[in-house]
């Protein structure tokens, strides 16, 4: 994550928990530590915190939210991999035949060899 992205994420946290300005050392710690994270992952973790934490989160809560977000992403990825392949589109054959007929300059026919209406 870039320093600008870290500052924006920290700004989101400060906006979500408006309890006055953070001490400089706390803000510096968060900015320094955020740099080692992926910006999208950190943003999702902050959104998770904003939805579930009442008071300004501690760094440890952020780390926990990042872990939960990583687990959710891993679970989603594994679920997607476990899905059976999509069945072939039944229109694919008709589409291919239509394209062949255009290339050949002949009217498209249906599966029974009947010329399609309007061709």
Q: What is the pLDDT along the chain (119 residues), one digit of tens a residue?
A: 999 999 999 999 999 998 878 899 999 999 999 999 999 999 999 999 999 999 999 999 999 999 999 988 888 777 767 767 666 666 666 677 777 777 776 665 655 555 555 44
Domain ranges, ordered by start, for the chain: 3-82, 88-119
CB atoms within 10 A of CB 99: 11
How many whole angstroms separate alpha carbon 37 and alpha carbon 50? Answer: 18
Taking CA 41 as the corner, what is the angle to CA 23 and CA 25, rounded to the nearest 5 degrees? 15
Q: How far is CA 98 from the centre of its chain?
A: 36
List all residues 6 or more positions away from 61 whose beta carbon is below 8 Å from its beta carbon.
49, 53
CATH of domain 3-82: 1.10.8
């Amino acid at each position: 994550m870039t320093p600008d992205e870290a500052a924006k994420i920290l700004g989101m946290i400060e906006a979500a928990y408006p309890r006055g300005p953070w001490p400089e050392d706390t803000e510096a710690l968060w900015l320094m530590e955020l740099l080692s994270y992926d910006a999208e992952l950190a943003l999702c973790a902050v959104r998770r915190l904003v939805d579930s934490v009442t008071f300004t989160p501690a760094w440890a809560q952020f780390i926990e939210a990042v872990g939960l977000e990583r687990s959710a992403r891993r679970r989603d990825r594994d679920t997607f991999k476990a899905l059976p392949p999509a069945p072939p589109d039944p229109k694919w054959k008709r589409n291919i035949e239509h394209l062949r007929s255009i290339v050949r300059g002949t009217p498209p026919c249906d599966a029974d060899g009947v010329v399609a209406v309007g061709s």
